[in-house]
Structure 1
Amino acid sequence: MNYAAGRIPFEFEREDLAKVVRETMERRDTNIVGGNISIKVKDEKGNPFYVMTPTMMSEAYLGHLSPEQILVIEPHTRKIVSGVGKLTREINMHEAVYDANPEIKCVFHSHADQSMFWATSGLNMPNVTEATQKLKGIRTLEWHPMCTEELAQYVAGEITKLGDKALRNGFLLNSHGTLFTSGGANMDPLTALHKSLADVDITEWNAKVAYRQTVLQQNGQLDGYYSEGVKIGTWQDVLNGEALYNEKTLQAVNGD
């Protein structure tokens, strides 16, 4: 990598990611044991690298990271080519996701506050708010131990099944948190990073609203989940494993 004397490689990307980590903490989109975020970048020769948060980004550093603490990692060798932090054990999941769909530019894993209810229940989160409809179904994946190759390969398999949907998607990791992916062949990595931050934030609001609609159903005040004036399903559908969202209005917006 070539860069001006006295400057760090991928400085702008590392500055931006450090800001996103702080914003994620302040919005309660993760908790003190953190999560991890990465983007896939290329140098001037087209060589790929991961720009990634270090381990203990929240617990040790309280989400206040300097650009120098953000790591630049060589894919597959997992060599840290720049950065003073230590590599998270979750690198295997990030790497597996990027390998499963090379157009993904951001992998965003957090321990989001409201979403954790649905993640620990093993149930898919009903998608009811207008802002989250383009995420379509918000599924809770099967449980696999965190930081393991088993989890990494399982998630990669689920990403592969999604095809292009993986370029804007949100999964719930059972008992572990959220996993958002963003990208596209022509999408800048920082655009993907900001899209994933937005998606985790709007999904947090959706998690709260969906829970309250669930309570209203149990109390007999609603007969199902409602989104944009449309009944999209019921609590029984959720128990049956469906990932509810407003397919009708989404099709109308997309024109298909």
Structure 2
Amino acid sequence: MMKNYITKEVLPFEGERRDLANVAREMFNRKMTNVAGGNISVKVTPDENFSYDEVIYEKGHDYLLMTPTFMSEAWYAKLNPSQILVIDLKNGKKLSGEGRLTREINMHEEAYKANPKIHVVYHSHALNCMFWATLGQDMPNLTEVTSVNVPLGKIKCLPYRTACTKELADLVYEELIKLGDKSEQNIFLLNSHGVLITDTDLHSATEVLETVEWNADIAYKQAIFKKLGIIENYQSCGNSLTI
């Protein structure tokens, strides 16, 4: 039986691609990453069949919308919707978009494989988070928003693996599997490399990134006060934390 495909005159997933481009630009301007890079992907699943530019998009099939490589270096995250790539999640093939696919696609693919409920994977080089990541040390979770309002639990630093390698992608997959349902909203520090957020919503992921970045700065300053003897332990929500 022949399927009925609807031909759309706009870009495939244009609204979602425009939103992702806007988020990438805004977060770059807010210094949530640097010109060394970072990348964001969003999983989308059409609720109807459609075709565009001789490509058929299947109802119920998973696709990734992803920022192109050199998002920060070449364009300072000033992206158009047409520069957001559309990737077939099943085979990793680029179907639409101007630009090349980042080599870190393997880390994104493994994250989605770990939990089908994950709809966003966000990798960033946020400055204060990088302080803890370069230490190879878990970040103390101190602020009310990260420990209560958006309960992230332990902000864990993963062991070092070289960027873009299968070893890093495999490690991310294994650690997300260990988290189970908690992997639906989580942030890892990537040793010497940055952060990796998994979430069910793009704008929720940006909230995680910015609030954890604030937490990282506060934890850094408390670490100095602790070392100087001004405070005995880290302070959070009216409690003294021994870390």
Alignment-derived partner of residue 211 in structure 1: 220
Determine whether 1:4 maps to 2:13: no
TM-score w.r.t. structure 2 length?
0.91
Percent same amino acid among aligned pairs? 50
Instruction: Tell me the CA shift for residue 3 of structure 1.
Output: 4.6
> Compared with structure 1, are the counterparts of its residues 4 and 114 closer, same or farther at alpha carbon in structure 2 (3 Å cutoff)?
same
Alignment-derived partner of residue 28 in structure 1: 31
- In structure 2, C-alpha distance between the alignment counterparts of 1:232 and 1:117, rounded to whole Å: 20
- 1:76·1:95 contact (CA, 8 Å) conserved in 2? no
- In structure 2, C-alpha distance between the alignment counterparts of 1:2 and 1:101, rounded to whole Å: 30
Alignment-derived partner of residue 109 in structure 2: 95
> Compared with structure 1, are the counterparts of its residues 66 and 174 closer, same or farther at alpha carbon in structure 2 (3 Å cutoff)?
same
- 2:233·2:241 contact (CA, 8 Å) conserved in 1? yes
- In structure 2, C-alpha distance between the alignment counterparts of 1:208 and 1:58, rounded to whole Å: 23
Determine whether 1:198 maps to 2:215: no
- In structure 1, C-alpha distance between the alignment counterparts of 2:83 and 2:205, rounded to whole Å: 21
Alignment-derived partner of residue 55 in structure 2: none
Unaligned runs of 5+ in 2: 49-58
Alignment-derived partner of residue 52 in structure 2: none
TM-score w.r.t. structure 1 length?
0.86
Determine whether 1:168 maps to 2:185: yes
Instruction: Tell me the CA shift for residue 62 of structure 1.
Output: 0.7
Amino acid at match of 2:40: I
Q: Which runs of 4+ in 1 moved over 3 A?
A: none
Counterparts in 2 of 1:79-228, with a 5 A limit? 79-133=93-147, 134-183=151-200, 192-228=201-237
CA deviation vs aligned residue, 1:109-133 (integer Å, no higher than 9, x gap): 0000110000000110001011111
Amino acid at match of 2:73: E
- 1:73·1:80 contact (CA, 8 Å) conserved in 2? yes
Instruction: Tell me the CA shift for residue 76 of structure 1.
Output: 3.6
SS in 2 for 1:59: helix
CA deviation vs aligned residue, 1:156-204 (integer Å, no higher than 9, x gap): 0000000111111110000000001112xxxxxxxx1101111110111
Instruction: Tell me the CA shift for residue 4 of structure 1.
Output: 2.0
- 1:3·1:9 contact (CA, 8 Å) conserved in 2? no
Instruction: Tell me the CA shift for residue 231 of structure 1.
Output: 1.1
Amino acid at match of 1:174: N
- 2:62·2:90 contact (CA, 8 Å) conserved in 1? no
- In structure 2, C-alpha distance between the alignment counterparts of 1:13 and 1:130, rounded to whole Å: 31
- In structure 1, C-alpha distance between the alignment counterparts of 2:210 and 2:120, rounded to whole Å: 15
